[in-house]
Amino acid sequence: MTEPRLTHFDAAGAAAMVDVSDKAATHRIAVARGRVVMAPETLALIRQGTVGKGDVLGIARIAGIMAAKRTSDLIPLCHPLALSKVTVDLSIAEPDSVEIEALAKVTGQTGVEMEALTAVSVAALTIYDMCKAADRGMRIEAIRLVHKSGGKSGVYEAT
């Protein structure tokens, strides 16, 4: 078995953008998940819609979608992608958290894992920002890739 190697370094060890010009364009999907854990009282404020800054889950959804579209501006060696779809779903998980799932799709020469992960991360940060006046002890946890398909490496499913 070939030893895995990091792809974002050239032969001299310098950081480099991966050359995808010889790769076939395929339909690619990535799904990422994470959560924001908070005091039950903070979750109640979100559920009741009484956070002073507005609709926390709605704004976090839009923030996550916008972030996925701008991933290459945030992560230095990411390719800019013409995303065909991004969804960010947020759900209240009693007694103390908001679960976040993002899906990103593209037909292209490189995957969309970073876009899905960025969407979850920024949605979680938006929840934190909107609720920090009530709860500075919130924790952003378990951001991870749970599914990816398309491309040469095929399907990945987290266990």
Annotated binding site for substrate: 77-79, 114-115
Report the alpha-carbon distance of residue 36 to residue 32 in Å, rounded.
14
7: closest CA among 62, 87, 63, 79?
Answer: 79
User: Does the active-site annotation cover 55?
Assistant: no
Residue type, 41: E
Q: Counting Cβ atoms within 10 Å, is residue 154 exposed (0-12), middle (13-18) or buried (19+)?
A: exposed
Which residue ranges make up the annotated binding site? 77-79, 114-115
Residue 95 burial (10 A CB sphere; 0-12, 13-18, 19+): exposed
Among 89, 96, 129, 135, the one annotated catalytic: 129
Catalytic center residues: 129
